[in-house]
Amino acid sequence: MADDVIDVVIADDQELVRAGFEMILDAQPGIRVVGVARDGVECVELARRLRPAVALVDIRMPRMDGLEVTRILAGERSGEPATNVVVITTFDQDDYVRDALRNGACGFLLKDAPPALLVEAVRAASRGDALVSPAVTVRLLRGLAHGLGGEEHREAAGLSSRETEIARLVAVGRTNQEIAEELFLSLSSVKTYLARIQAKVEARNRVEIAAWAWENSVVTSRDQRL
């Protein structure tokens, strides 16, 4: 297997969804579907055996739901590398998605997403650059805006003003390149800041940085009207 090939496992209880995703991804250069699961238990078994870079996981599945699958795969404690999980959802499942985020999901994808976004989601997840659909993700994270909330929690994390600003931009869906351009930073500097933020707020990935920012009122009222 070539090092640059992204191995993917797809888990969904709907045959048409599985077949559609598999057809789209297998047609892409550098992406290969190595396993297809009909339920959560089968997904975990395949992922542990095949060690894909990315798992596309539906939230509602028989035997084991996508929330538990995400918790297991994204938070593996076996010493093996964790799998980057992209959650497949619909617009009426916000509560499920927020739970999936807390379980370690690194991205979200709507079931009716266009093929190009599906491919983008997989490639982004394989890089750990998980905020692939800002409009969807920001809408979901907005519900966290009245969570922990407060200056006290932000101060406890010890973020600098620059780090706080970058966390805010991540939370409203900016890519690394967009952050670099907006703040007049190099791309490598943005990545360095993100690594520091991730360590300070104890986030496993980019999406958890965004969740932290929404929960701790880093996002402004102007941002929330976007």
Residue 91 pLDDT: 60
Residue 132 has pLDDT above 50, yes or no: no
Residue 200 pLDDT: 92
Mean pLDDT of 54-80: 83
**To which residue do tokens 């986030």 refer?**
203
Choose from 28-42, 123-137, 212-226 the range with maximum mean pLDDT. Answer: 28-42
Nearest to 136 by CA among 168, 112, 167: 112
**Which pTM was predicted?**
0.69
pLDDT band for 13, please (50, 70, 90 cuts). very high
Nearest to 103 by CA among 78, 133, 67: 67
CB 135 within 8 A of CB 204: no
**Residue-by-residue DSSP string for 138-204:** HHHHHTTTTSS-SHHHHHHHT--HHHHHHHHHHHTT--HHHHHHHHT--HHHHHHHHHHHHHHTT-S
Query: Which amino acid type is present at position 100?
Result: A
CB 218 within 8 A of CB 168: yes
Query: Which amino acid type is present at position 176?
Result: N
Residue 86 has pLDDT above 80, yes or no: yes
- Provide CATH code, domain 145-224: 1.10.10.10
Residue 1 pLDDT: 42
Between 32 and 105, residue with greater pLDDT:
32
> What is the Cα–Cα distance from 87 to 58, expressed in whole angstroms?
6
Q: Which CATH architecture has domain 6-132?
A: 3-Layer(aba) Sandwich (3.40)
Choose from 86-90, 95-99, 182-186 the range with maximum mean pLDDT. Answer: 182-186
The residues facing 10 across adjacent strands are: 36, 56
> What is the Cα–Cα distance from 103 to 72, expressed in whole angstroms?
8
Residue 166 pLDDT: 93
87-101, 163-177, 205-219 — which is least confidently predicted? 87-101
pLDDT band for 151, please (50, 70, 90 cuts). low
Residue 93 pLDDT: 60
Q: Which two tokens stand for residue 137?
A: 């993700």
> What is the Cα–Cα distance from 75 to 134, expressed in whole angstroms?
24
Q: Which two tokens stand for residue 155?
A: 């101060």
Residue 148 has pLDDT above 60, yes or no: no
- List, by residue range, all CATH 3.40.50.2300 domains of the chain: 6-132
Q: Which two tokens stand for residue 152?
A: 């006290």
- List, by residue range, all CATH 1.10.10.10 domains of the chain: 145-224
How many helices (H) and strands (E) would you count in the chain?
12, 5
